[in-house]
Amino acid sequence: MFFMKKKWTPIISILLALTVSACSQSVPANNQNQDGTSENVKKAATDAEGMIAEGPGKFAGSRYDVNKVNEELDQFPDNMKADEAYNRLIRLLAEDYKPVKQKLDDFDPNVAPKLSNTPGGINQPKLSKLNVEILLDSSGSMNGQVSGGKKMDLAKKAIQEFASKLPEGTNVSLRVYGHKGSSSAKDKAVSCASSEVVYPMGKYDQTAFNQALNKFQPTGYTPIALAIRGAQQDLQSAQEENTQNIVYIVSDGIETCGGNPVEEAKKLHTSGIKAVVNIIGFDVDNAGQQALKQVAEAGGGSYTTVNSETDLKEYLEREHNRLQFEWWGWGNLNVTEVNNTALKKRNELDEIAYPGPVIIGTGKPSLFISIFDTETKHFDDAIAYLEQKGKVDIAESALLEQKINDRSDKIKKYFTEKYDNLDKQIVKIRDELGKQIQEKANQEYNKYNQ
Residue 21 has pLDDT above 70, yes or no: no
Residues 6+ apart with CB under 8 A from 52: 97, 98, 101, 411, 414
What pLDDT does residue 205 have?
Answer: 92
How many domains are contained in the chain? Answer: 2
Residue 270 shares a structural domain with residue 375: no
Quote the percentage of the chain above a pLDDT of 90. 60
The answer to whether residues 176 and 286 belong to one domain is yes
Task: Looking at the structure, tell me whether residues 288 and 159 fall in a common domain.
Answer: yes
In a domain, 413, yes or no: yes
Let me know if residue 17 belongs to a domain: no
Residue 144: pLDDT over 70: yes
Q: Does 22 have pLDDT greater than 60?
A: no
| Cα 246 to Cα 302: distance, rounded to the nearest angstrom | 11
Candidates 352, 355, 367, 360; CA nearest to 408 is 355
d(CA 55, CA 52): 6
Residue 320 lies in a domain: no
User: What is the model's pLDDT at position 119?
Assistant: 56
For residues 374 and 269, state if they share a domain.
Answer: no
User: Do 215 and 292 belong together in one domain?
Assistant: yes
Residues 92 and 160 both lie in one domain: no
Is residue 272 located within the same domain as residue 184? yes
Both 298 and 386 in a single domain? Answer: no
Please indicate, yes or no, whether residues 154 and 297 belong to a single structural domain of this protein: yes
- Mean of pLDDT values over 375-395: 96
Residue range(s) defining the domain that contains residue 167: 129-307
Task: Taking residues 29-52, report their average pLDDT.
Answer: 69
From 251, 281, 307, the end of a domain falls on 307
Query: Beta partners for 130?
Result: 244
Please say whether the beta carbons of 355 and 368 come within 8 A: yes
Q: Which residues neighbour 194 within 8 Å (Cβ) at sequence distance 6 or greater? A: 177, 178, 179, 180, 181, 220, 223
pLDDT at 5 over 80: no
pLDDT of residue 108: 94
CA–CA separation, 70 vs 385, rounded Å? 8
Report the pLDDT averaged over residues 191-213.
Answer: 94
**Residues 89 and 196 reside in one and the same domain:** no
Q: What is the mean pLDDT of residues 336-354?
A: 94
The predicted pLDDT at position 115 comes to: 59
Other C-beta atoms lying within 10 Å of the C-beta of residue 412: 16
> Domain holding 133: CATH number?
3.40.50.410
Residue 115 lies in a domain: no
Judge if 98 and 139 occupy the same domain. Answer: no
pLDDT exceeds 50 at position 121: no
b/e map 413-428, b = 16+ CB within 10 Å: ebbeebbeebbebbee
Q: Does residue 224 lie in a domain region?
A: yes
pLDDT digits (tens, 9 = 90+) for 255-282: 999 999 999 999 999 998 888 999 988 8
- 151 and 96, same structural domain? no
> Would 281 be classed as within a structural domain?
yes
Average pLDDT over residues 43-55: 93
Highest mean pLDDT among 11-15, 126-130, 227-231, 250-254: 227-231
Whether 73 maps to a domain, the answer reads yes
Tell me, yes or no, whether 328 lies in a domain.
no
325 pLDDT more than 90: no
Tens-digit pLDDT profile for residues 89-116? 999 999 999 999 999 999 999 887 665 5
